[in-house]
């Protein structure tokens, strides 16, 4: 019973991070039809920026804010400088550019920050909380992870559903030409979308790094799991990305806890294949509803 | 008043518009007629800045429009309702309408919303519904209503009758005619259905292979048997 609870709690925490990362991928996919493989190294770079600030003796929270802000800027710059020039061409060009960016950011980070493992601080405890005499697999930092991701999603939901700028962003994603005719500056909305996605990716990067080790490649497996989570939920659906992330986190946690931790990556691939075979549109894709 | 002078545009080596010139008067419906491929849609897309002109100019109430980006057109008073209606089906009815208002002033005036709901009560009933549940006629009302949210002086309509039942077409055209008079709108109406377009238009321009082949009062065009047989198909 206790193992079941601990496995579920571990999966929930991990799932929240996957959900955030999947959401970052979906925000970009939905507006530009590009799977941003560079999301992982972009988040890695901003986490290293936070580490530099912490190492300089500043507070964790300043570093946290700086990482999120640099994520916002990095996303906007990548869209403007790397993606915009190939816009209008085949989408595969932009995808290949994000793969190129993946390699470039990796190499740059190794040169600038060093190619070795470094420990990254956590603002809250990373040991299990005691409940009724037993320690459960939920840490103070785990609670912070869950709350931070939930808060970010809540704010994004408010932005998209309740504000004029959110309405413009959705219109640009759904139908850029009509949005343009209605006076929406679609290019700016795309830049903003990339910036927000990159910010969410940075958040995921910080949450994975907390109380753990960072390295130029420490986010690389997360982009795989985030992508599986996004496909699971349907690449077009932010809500699906979140549910997909949670489901994947739970599933992988159970595989790790009950089957064997060495099978986690394989399990993720099996889930990806099952989804693509059984429900290629994902669990929540709007295309399924539109077919009616 | 919308004046098009020597407008020329194309797609690579294909010339879709070849020196098109005409004037659409304020407070009138000007029909743009012609067969498939005559250049009607390209004409509207070039006027609204979605397609780049190779030559020629567009002038709206004394201001040059032909170097203005498409997303700045609502601020100039021009609203383009594209072919296939252009409802953003993922958004709700009210979100579509709100979007229309943002283009011109950046802010929503609730009075505009109420005015459009007054014109199209069926939209008011479904304001919270996702637009993809609307019927074809309701979608047409939504895009016209959405265009009006920007308080345009000039309305470009691309095939509003496409795929609609004749009764619905008559209803929408009736409404359009009323709006033209009450708001003194300039309307450029592209239609394949020449007979129903000429029934509400004051003036008509007939295109064939990118050139103007006739430019006259609607009544005169409808009475010209030779023209009707050659280009208008009725």
User: Using CA atoms, how far apart are residues B52 and B45, in angstroms rounded to an integer?
Assistant: 8
Which residues constitute the domain of residue B77? Answer: 2-232
What's the confidence (pLDDT) of residue A291? 36
The nearest CA of chain B is from the CA of A183 a distance in Å of 4
Mean pLDDT of A164-193: 94
CB pairs under 8 A between A and B: 70
Q: Please report which confidence band the pLDDT of residue A135 belongs to, taking 50, 70 and 90 as the band edges.
A: confident
Contact A184 B108 (CB under 8 A): no
pLDDT < 70 positions in chain B: none
Closest CA to A184 of B142, B192, B91, B13: B91
Ranking A72-81, A103-112, B222-231 by mean pLDDT, the lowest is B222-231
Whether residue A286 is predicted with pLDDT greater than 60 in this model: the reply is: no
- Phi, psi angles (nearest 5°) of residue B116: -65, -40
Q: Is A175 on the interface with B (CB under 8 A)?
A: yes
Q: What percent of chain A has pLDDT over 70?
A: 97
The Cα-based distances of B97 to A207, B49, B189, B225 in angstroms read 40, 22, 21, 42
What's the confidence (pLDDT) of residue A288? 43
Interface test with B, best of A166, A170, A172, A178 (most B CBs within 10 A): A178
Q: For residue B48, which residues of chain A lie inside 8 Å, CB to CB?
A: 181
Q: Which helix (H) or strand (E) holds B103?
A: helix B93-105
User: Using CA atoms, how far apart are residues B70 and B59, in angstroms rounded to an integer?
Assistant: 15
Residues 185-214 of A with CB under 8 A from B: 185-186
What's the confidence (pLDDT) of residue B118? 94
Which residue has tokens 């070849």?
B18
Read off the pLDDT of residues A267-277 as tens digits, 9 standing for 90 and up: 999 999 998 88
Q: Please report which confidence band the pLDDT of residue A285 belongs to, taking 50, 70 and 90 as the band edges.
A: low
Which residue has tokens 């064997």?
A260
Beta strands B154-158; B186-191: pairing state: parallel
Using alpha carbons only, give the angle A99, A68, A46 rounded to the nearest 5 degrees: 45
Whether residue A287 is predicted with pLDDT greater than 60 in this model: the reply is: no
Beta strands B29-33; B78-81: pairing state: unpaired
Count of structural domains within chain B: 1
Question: Sign (positive/negative) of CA torsion A249, A91, A164, B138?
Answer: negative
For the domain that residue B55 is a member of, what is the CATH number? 3.40.50.300
Q: For residue B75, which residues of chain A lie inside 8 Å, CB to CB?
A: 183
Q: For residue A184, which residues of chain B lie inside 8 Å, CB to CB?
A: 71, 99, 102-103
Contact B91 A168 (CB under 8 A): no
Q: For residue B104, which residues of chain A lie inside 8 Å, CB to CB?
A: 183
| Helix, strand, or coil (residue B19) | strand
Question: Sign (positive/negative) of CA torsion A137, A143, A149, A150?
Answer: positive
Mean per-residue pLDDT over chain A, rounded:
91
Read off the pLDDT of residues B29-84 as tens digits, 9 standing for 90 and up: 999 999 888 999 999 999 999 999 999 999 999 999 988 999 999 999 999 999 87
């Amino acid at each position: 019973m206790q193992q079941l609870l601990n496995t579920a709690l571990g999966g929930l925490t991990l799932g929240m991070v996957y959900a955030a990362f999947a959401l970052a991928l979906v925000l970009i996919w939905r507006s530009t039809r590009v799977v941003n493989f560079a999301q992982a190294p972009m988040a890695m770079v901003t986490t290293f920026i936070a580490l530099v600030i912490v190492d300089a003796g500043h507070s964790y929270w300043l570093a946290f804010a700086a990482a999120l802000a640099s994520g916002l800027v990095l996303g906007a710059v990548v869209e403007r400088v790397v993606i915009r020039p190939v816009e209008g061409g085949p989408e595969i060009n932009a995808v290949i550019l994000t793969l190129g960016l993946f390699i470039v950011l990796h190499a740059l980070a190794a040169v600038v920050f060093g190619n070795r493992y470094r420990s990254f601080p956590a603002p809250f405890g990373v040991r299990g909380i005691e409940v009724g005499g037993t320690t459960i697999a939920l840490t103070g930092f785990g609670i912070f992870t869950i709350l931070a991701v939930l808060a970010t999603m809540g704010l994004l939901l408010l932005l998209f559903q309740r504000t004029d700028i959110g309405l413009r962003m959705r219109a640009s994603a759904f139908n850029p030409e009509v949005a343009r005719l209605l006076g929406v500056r679609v290019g700016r909305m795309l830049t903003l979308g990339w910036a927000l996605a990159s910010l969410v990716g940075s958040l995921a990067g910080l949450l994975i790094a907390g109380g753990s080790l960072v390295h130029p490649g420490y986010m690389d497996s997360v982009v795989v799991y985030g992508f599986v989570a996004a496909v699971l939920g349907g690449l077009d659906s932010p809500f699906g990305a979140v549910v997909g992330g949670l489901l994947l986190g739970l599933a992988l946690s159970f595989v790790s806890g009950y089957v064997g931790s060495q099978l986690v990556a394989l399990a993720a691939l099996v889930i990806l294949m099952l989804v693509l075979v059984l429900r290629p549109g994902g669990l929540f894709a709007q295309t399924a509803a539109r077919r009616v | 008043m919308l004046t098009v002078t020597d407008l020329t545009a194309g797609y690579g080596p294909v010339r879709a518009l070849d020196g098109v010139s005409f004037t659409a008067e304020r407070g009138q419906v000007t029909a743009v007629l012609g067969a498939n491929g005559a250049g009607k849609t390209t004409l509207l897309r070039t006027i609204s800045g979605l397609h780049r002109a190779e030559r020629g100019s567009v002038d709206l109430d004394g201001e040059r429009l032909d170097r203005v980006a498409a997303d700045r057109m609502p601020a100039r008073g021009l609203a383009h309702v594209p072919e296939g209606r252009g409802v953003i089906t993922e958004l709700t009815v009210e979100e579509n309408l709100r979007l229309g208002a943002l283009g011109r002033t950046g802010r929503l005036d609730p009075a505009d919303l109420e005015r459009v709901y007054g014109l199209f009560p069926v939209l008011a009933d479904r304001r919270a519904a996702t637009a993809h549940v609307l019927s074809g006629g309701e979608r047409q009302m939504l895009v016209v209503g959405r265009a009006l949210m920007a308080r345009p002086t000039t309305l470009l309509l691309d095939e509003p009758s496409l795929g609609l039942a004749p009764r619905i077409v008559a209803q929408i055209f009736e409404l359009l005619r009323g709006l033209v008079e009450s708001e003194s709108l300039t309307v450029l109406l592209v239609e394949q259905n020449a007979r129903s377009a000429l029934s509400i238009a004051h003036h008509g321009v007939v295109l064939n292979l990118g050139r103007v082949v006739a430019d006259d009062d609607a009544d005169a065009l409808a009475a010209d048997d030779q023209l009707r047989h050659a280009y208008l198909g009725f």
